[in-house]
Structure 1
């Protein structure tokens, strides 16, 4: 959580999610409102068209009844037949009346039957599959009473199951009728009843439906069902709580679990009511919500990718800069950061690269100065070695000349010449190989063996693979000199000097061992302590206490000068982990181990 990448990602992602959430909520609310308004407008248009179509049908039916009521010939024949007793005339008149009814019947496809009942009880019918009037007590039926109670207006009896006249007609019918009046004196001469196919009415009602589960009802002012598109005609909802609209007015009510749309027909006191479940209305909203969910998932995915890209664009250059800083912290000044990001980050990276370059340049200068200082110190240290050896060699030559041993003198002078030549060549920054050091040691031992007359025996056991190891020049000679002078010369018997090389714990150990008199415990501890102190002294930081000991000679004996010198030169060349290790036992001998790093592949003396 503390990384800039994660924080930028979370910040950007949170902002995007909040923005997407707000936009989604507003979009959903607005879309829901639009859908509700759209459905409400659609329902109003549908019911308005339905009521208009319904009024047109009723007007057509009203025209049929008016045409019959104004047919003078049919009214005359009905009155004449009621008053005539002649059978032939009655039959002829009945046929004429039936023909007039037939003409009206065939004028429209939706008429199922036309029935006229005179005041004298005569029936005239024109219908499909009509045999006879089955109900002889029709005068006491409800529909007949409604027609009789009317004052001449159209009486809409509604959608009935089967014919009220023809018992054999079981199909649903839309039934209406009116009284018949004499045109001259306005006497009631009978009633007419027309039965029509209900499909035009139901088709008109179906226009109100806005979903498969919508149901449309026609109810009168007493909440009696006239017609419906519902298949279940037994479980009819209550219409008592529905407000009755005025003519040319539409009522829309969505306060319940159903959308209620109501309108009133002009030709009757009937109200058309449409009921649509809210679940059907919300189906489109549900689809919109599902679509919105898909869009949200895609937007979240895109926001995540965009947040990751933005945070990575900012954080990646900074991470690269941090990694390079860690490299600089570990001492690697060779790298540089190359990025192409924001202007501020590019400026920061450029400043870092310039800083590292200047640090590298400064370190290189310091390194060159330090190398020059170390080389000067090596030269100064090396110059301490030659006077001691030169003094001893000149002393030996003096005694040999005195004894006039010319052959031995020739060998000694030759070895001395080789040693002077080797020690005076410092072109390779005081570096040499173990092979050359061993060769120099043999020249030195030639001189020593001549001086000690065979009292010292030298054994060298170094594998050829280590002969090309690089080491400081004049490393073995001071160690050999100390071993001979302080270890083997005081010995009354023949001394043995052994030199060998071995690998120990990943380092190369060159061991110089003698079987001389050894070193006293206190003196050995003092020498080991001086070697430890010289780790610091070798870096140019010698303490005042070490300098005082050098002047007073209180700790460092004469024999320690050469060993400390060699130790410091090894430390300067290879590091503080390397140098000399001294062990000794009184009357048993002394061992000096030169610890150096194993040569890497390809290392050689340039």
Structure 2
């Protein structure tokens, strides 16, 4: 598949359009990705945490209901040890047909039952029926009369038959539980003969009201069912039918109420549970999308501030490219673009100046070449003449003059440079310097002493030609000669280079020191000299005497900077009246 059409399209649209597209992608892509995955993950975490919390609550509530049912069981057990029912039963057996006695016993027993009802807030009604008797003794919490015929005593009697424990019974009406009853058979403590059946109707709010108090969030419904799916309690805070219409997901929690095998079921609507989270996510997304126009405005401002001036600069550069000279830009900016405009103006003006002066420079170069060819004849002629004089001196036995002429001839030979050598060995440089010192000492005698401390291992190192003699000459003529006498010390040694910042070993360097005990350099001249040594064009000196005295040092520095660059070259230290120390640092490397 060829990508050229896409590349052509990409390069055809403007930078402004590219910026808008890139910023929109950079801004919306993370929002969509992070929003989608973050929101999904957050929904899952929130749902899981709430389900864990709700499941724990349901188990705790199930335990509380179980405790209340066990309390009813314990209450029924306590009645087995109460003497009131036994006494009534005993009196009935003594006078089974006495109406007055039966009335009093009925009053006493119902009074007893009423005291139990008011002592137990969870009980709405209590009733007792003796075995083989039709009479039902009943007490209620409410003042409204309730007929004993509404109590399903026969059904509960049948269900309790043979059951040693408390049983429960649901009074149903059209598949709806109206009342919940608990019943237990009472036996004689002495002979374990069945006396009758005690029944109490339980307040449903007492059993299940805690569900209403603790599970009342708008996104959950609560149901309690009997062992045969009889609905005992219902609390619907949202409409399940509406939930199915919007296709919202429902989560269910189930638990068992022991020991009756009742079931608690809690449904949780994810749609309602996450309603606020989803609304907040939508608001964040809308706010993020609403900021896109702001970014577009900022991009337009950025385009006008940066790219439009850049286009102007490009147009000016095209004008220069087409041959226009001296093109400049007017700008008062002080930022990076201002620096760029300033540099362009300087470059344009420099080009104009160079084009204007190139013709003159070419003429001057031609004249300099002619003069150089003419000047080259004189050193050769002088060298050949000195060789002839040396031959005549040897024939006449004047050895001292012959030695001086030989030394001068060696110096001339080095300066003529027949083989055009750029680098020579340190040994050759020392030989050349020795010839120079020989002639100097013939002139000054013992007034000038030269001491050499040279590392023998450095003699084979290749160095630029004629860089030591100018320093020796400078020390003699500008340091020792004004004083009248003195000593020049030449120290040469190899040194292992160390990068002080990174603590690593560098290439070896050659250290050459020329030290004299002459008159030294005045502090003002020394500072100017140091400044000139750092300049690229150190020969542009303002003082004629200064030119004559220090031009050799500056020439050596310029040569070293051109060959090796930073940080190699010369350093000068001097104290007026005490002397001068010049140190030269050279790298040791292949010079082929």
Whose relative contact order is higher, 1 or 2, with alpha carbons under 8 Å and at least 6 apart? 1
